[in-house]
Amino acid sequence: MITFTHYQNPIKPMETPTIYKAHIITPKLNLIDMNLEYRDLLTYITIRSFLNSKTKECYPSQRTIAKTSGLSLNFIVDSITRLKAAGLITVQTGNERVSSRYSFSAVTEFTGIPTTILSENSLTPTEKAILVSIRRYFWDSKLETTELMGSIAKYIGVSYSTLYKHYKALEEKGYIVAHVMRNFHGNTDFVTSLTDKFDWRITKLEEKVEAHATEIEILKLKVEELTKLVMKAA
């Protein structure tokens, strides 16, 4: 339904997501430029949901990733390959007895995806992936976007009809709301809002923790580069 309103001014491997974290840090990406599919972001947040905050690594098996995300095992295998190629994750391949070890590249521009989205039974895996992939186009302050559906469809690599179908499903289930607003110039904007069925707003503490972790990772990379230069010059 459309309504009309006005703007107002190394440790033991873990097989259980770190649910104590309210949000999963997710980089803001241009999926097309990185040769990623929109469902790859669901793979990413699923793997990252197992992240150990101390070691910055995790060890979920591919079957666990598939089960947690709801995506097929074949898709997960291909998706991990794309995420690696895009430089978002590093994977130390395991074997039949030991799960692979995952670590994540430093993230400088990110948003937070609520951890509870992974366990929400009212959404299909595709609907979850759509929500995750469109989140970056919503303003953090109001959880709204005036981006046209056709533009977002292009950004995430799907057709307009595909995104429209999923938007309608998400609206019927109460996760997004489409409405019309009068902007400051008196013109009409078509606006889509995220509802409070999920807590989309990342806390200031989570922002600070992630920013600090990113700074550490960048410093580590610089130290590694300097070390290589010193060894090369020696």
The enclosing domain of 157 has a CATH number of 1.10.10.10
Q: Residue 97 — pLDDT band, cuts 50, 70, 90?
A: low
134 lies in the same domain as 232: no
Q: What is the pLDDT of residue 79?
A: 98
Question: pLDDT digit string (tens) for 20-62?
Answer: 478 898 999 899 999 999 999 999 999 999 998 888 899 999 9
Domain of residue 174 covers 3-202
Q: Residue 110 — pLDDT band, cuts 50, 70, 90?
A: confident
Question: pLDDT digit string (tens) for 135-151?
Answer: 999 998 889 999 999 99
Domain count, the chain: 2
161 lies in the same domain as 210: no
Range scoring the smallest mean pLDDT among 79-88, 119-128, 207-216: 207-216
57 lies in the same domain as 117: yes
The answer to whether 177 touches 190, Cβ cutoff 8 Å, is no
181 lies in the same domain as 222: no
76 lies in the same domain as 48: yes
What does the buried/exposed string (b/e) look like for 8-37 if buried means 16 or more CB atoms within 10 Å of the residue's CB?
eeeeebbeebeeebebbbbbebebeeeebb
The answer to whether 53 touches 119, Cβ cutoff 8 Å, is no
